[in-house]
Amino acid sequence: MNKAAALHILVKTESEAEALKKCLEKGEDFFKLAKKHSTCPSKRQGGDLGEFKKGAMVKQFDDAVFAKGSEDKPLIGPVKTRFGYHLIKVLYKS
Predicted confidence pLDDT, tens digits, the chain (94 residues): 799 999 999 999 999 999 999 999 999 999 999 999 999 999 999 999 999 999 999 999 999 999 999 999 999 999 999 999 999 999 999 9
Q: Are 93 and 3 in contact (CB under 8 A)?
A: yes
DSSP 47: T
Asked if residue 8 lies in contact with residue 40, where contact means CB atoms within 8 angstroms, the answer is yes
Question: Model's pTM, two decimal places?
Answer: 0.95
Residues in the chain: 94
Q: In terms of Cα–Cα distance, which of 75, 93, 92, 83 is closest to 38?
A: 83
Instruction: Tell me the domain boundaries of the chain.
Output: 3-93
Q: Which fold has domain 3-93?
A: Chitinase A; domain 3 (3.10.50)
